[in-house]
Amino acid sequence: MAHPKQMLAIEIEYGVLKPVKRALPTPSAHQVLIKVSAAGVNRPDVMQRKGLYPPPKGASDLPGLEVSGTIIALGEQIHHLFIGDKVCALVTGGGYAEYCLASAMLCLPIPESFSFTQAAALPETFFTVWNNIFDRAHLQPGETLLVHGGSSGIGTTAIQLGKAFKTKVIVTAGSAVKCQFCEELGADTALNYLELDFVEEIKALTDNKGVDVILDMIGGDYFPRNLNCLADDGRLVQIALQNGPKTELNLLPVMLKRLTITGSTLRARDDIFKAAIAQRLKDNVWPLLASGKIKPVIHSTFALRDAAKAHQLMESSQHIGKIILTV
């Protein structure tokens, strides 16, 4: 079957998303070309549009970090995937287009009975949450996890994974509706950070012990408050900085409580590192998705050429869960 010579893609031009026509990309030896059915929208895409998060060297200049669709071409070194395979993939860019290159190592099968739209909601958040709360923070059954931004794509994923692996989950969110949603999804407690002091609430909820792991996307003035929320031997994982990168730090609680402070970004890591996460997801999480025990929360979908509207919604923070572009 002949493929078209050109595709619709969404470019960033002076901070604005703009539909354009581009030539189809060609896979290298270890890549596949995916005919995109759906693509996830994530906060890093918004940051890239604003010029704050440039793509790593060698990555596509188009935004978009996760896609689902059908493989239509293979690099010459690919032997475990086939043309016609339906996959979802974590990509370093290029997702906002009708066709997208992906590393073959980072393609995962679409879970049983999942639509392309559901599958496109998986890679970015599930890779990020798994890598940070399990690989980096070593969250254990019976421990307590605090997630800031519980109603975000990351938050709704962290709630479900935390509960699936037998931990207590507390979240913060910015409205009564969001808090209620998080509790219905499985969070043990959801705190409205606009009405409550989450530090005091956590102390009350944990008999002054604190929580074992915090997954934080806020940074800035949340940092000292997070340290106050951590139990002895607690671990803070920083994955974004919505309130900015700078804060004042009192090192005393770090020493007295033996705290671990870590953080990560995933996009610039190499494919071998990400492939190891993909394998852990396939072994540990894909069966839970196939059985319906956990599922991505999708707030709304937009046509690819309406990507700018999807970004407006993302920046309004009115959504709960994921925003998806459909092709």
Query: Over its length of 327 residues, how does the chain's per-residue pLDDT go in tens digits?
Result: 678 899 999 999 999 999 999 999 999 999 999 999 999 999 999 999 999 999 999 999 999 999 999 999 999 999 999 999 999 999 999 999 999 999 999 999 999 999 999 999 999 999 999 999 999 999 999 999 999 999 999 999 999 999 999 999 999 999 999 999 999 999 999 999 999 999 999 999 999 999 999 999 999 999 999 999 999 999 999 999 999 999 999 999 999 999 999 999 999 999 999 999 999 999 999 999 999 999 999 999 999 999 999 999 999 999 999 999 999
Report residue 32: phi and psi, to 5°. Answer: -125, 155
One domain, residues 318 and 208: no
Has residue 228 been placed in a domain? yes
Number of domains in the chain: 2
* Torsion of Cα atoms, 284 then 299 then 145 then 223, to 10°: 130
pLDDT at res. 1: 67
Domain limit, last residue, from 210, 232, 263: 263
Q: How far is CA 76 from the centre of its chain?
A: 30
Domain limit, last residue, from 248, 263, 278: 263
Report residue 9: phi and psi, to 5°. Answer: -140, 160
One domain, residues 104 and 45: yes
210 in helix, strand or coil?
Answer: coil
Say what the pTM is: 0.96
Has residue 136 been placed in a domain? yes
Q: For residues 86 and 72, what is the distance between their CA atoms, to the nearest angstrom?
A: 10
Average pLDDT of the chain is: 97
Per-state percent for the chain, helix, strand, coil, to nearest 5: 30, 30, 40
One domain, residues 118 and 198: no
One domain, residues 139 and 259: yes
Has residue 147 been placed in a domain? yes
pLDDT at res. 106: 98
301 in helix, strand or coil?
Answer: strand
pLDDT at res. 305: 97
Has residue 319 been placed in a domain? yes
Report residue 152: phi and psi, to 5°. Answer: -75, 175
Has residue 1 been placed in a domain? no
User: Residue 109's closest CA among 130, 93, 87?
Assistant: 87
Has residue 233 been placed in a domain? yes
One domain, residues 32 and 161: no
Q: For residues 306 and 303, what is the distance between their CA atoms, to the nearest angstrom?
A: 5
One domain, residues 162 and 258: yes
Structural domain harbouring 252 = 126-263
Torsion sign across C-alpha atoms 97, 103, 104, 110: negative
Q: How far is CA 4 from the centre of its chain?
A: 31
One domain, residues 81 and 160: no
Has residue 209 been placed in a domain? yes
Between strands 260-263 and 230-238, the pairing is parallel
Q: For residues 160 and 158, what is the distance between their CA atoms, to the nearest angstrom?
A: 5
- Residue 304, domain CATH: 3.90.180.10
Contact between 9 and 43 under an 8 Å Cβ cutoff? The reply is no
Helix (H) or strand (E) holding 277: helix 271-284
**Which DSSP symbol is given to 97?**
B
One domain, residues 272 and 256: no
> How many other C-beta atoms are found inside a 10 Å radius of the C-beta of residue 90?
29
One domain, residues 198 and 274: no
234 in helix, strand or coil?
Answer: strand
pLDDT at res. 2: 74
One domain, residues 198 and 231: yes
User: Residue 154's closest CA among 176, 185, 177, 127?
Assistant: 127
141 in helix, strand or coil?
Answer: coil
Q: For residues 230 and 235, what is the distance between their CA atoms, to the nearest angstrom?
A: 7
One domain, residues 257 and 130: yes
Q: For residues 123 and 128, what is the distance between their CA atoms, to the nearest angstrom?
A: 8
Has residue 113 been placed in a domain? yes
| Whole-Å CA distances, 144 to 65, 73, 233, 235 | 30, 45, 12, 11
pLDDT at res. 3: 84
One domain, residues 31 and 60: yes
Contact between 237 and 213 under an 8 Å Cβ cutoff? The reply is yes
- Residue 167, domain CATH: 3.40.50.720
Instruction: Using CB atoms within 10 Å of the CB of residue 283, give its burial: 0 to 12 exposed, 13 to 18 middle, 19+ buried.
Output: exposed
